[in-house]
Amino acid sequence: MRLVICDDNLNDLTEFERLAKKYSVLTPGVQFHITKFSDPSLLAAQIQTGKPADIYILDIVMSGMTGIDLGNEIRRHNSNSIIIYVTSSDSFALDAYEVHAVRYLLKPVGESKFFEALDYALTHLEEKKEAVYLVKTKEGLESIPYAEIEYIENSSRKLEVHLADGKKITSIYIRKSFEEETKELIHAKSFIYVHKSFLVNLYHVRRLNQSNVTMKSGVNIPISKKCLLDVKKEYLLFISEQYK
């Protein structure tokens, strides 16, 4: 498993490498191939040309390029890598959420917090590998990883599955209700109905207001009055879980 650490503070860089190696020794079946960067621009170049890492541990406040810039660069090339931020400032939590970081750790980072973040990252990687949603289309059965689904719309008795990369997959006519056809996704805890015709993946929500949710793609999806209170509650719970 490929793990990349980027921090322009050499002491922190060395300490995070030490903790990652210790975690690997203490966790059966986990072996990290660690690459370190003290210059974020070198990591940015590697992201653009090389194979993505499974997990990135990134400082945020660095000279020349921030960890948020790196996170955006990672997301431009893939949606599956796990990002963990470590920083001395608590001012970038919202920015971290927008690049789907799974943890936001404040320095100095203790061993227990670091290990918990890696536990969560590995669990999240397994969920991304295993969870797929099957959609019946004219061309056959499409297998779509949960993580790639931005939102699903019930349009004229067909499911329109909108993906994070901008693609859209349309099902054949559905025989059951929209809720019945999509209920398995609710168990993933990141999906929520915001309207009788829309199911959204909270990992791909950019912001929420009184009348709609704005997705990472820029699409605005209406929130029904009936769903508004539940949507607000679930959204806040989801965010707090990511950055507890």
Residue 243's pLDDT is what? 59
Contact 110, 15 (CB under 8 A): no
Contact indicator for 30, 122 with CB cutoff of 8 Å: yes
Question: What's residue 51's pLDDT?
Answer: 83
- This prediction has a pTM of 0.61
Whole-angstrom Cα distance, residue 63 to residue 60? 10
- Residue 94: CB atoms within 10 Å: 12
**Residue 80 has what pLDDT?**
79
User: Which residue ranges in the chain fall short of pLDDT 70?
Assistant: 127-130, 242-244
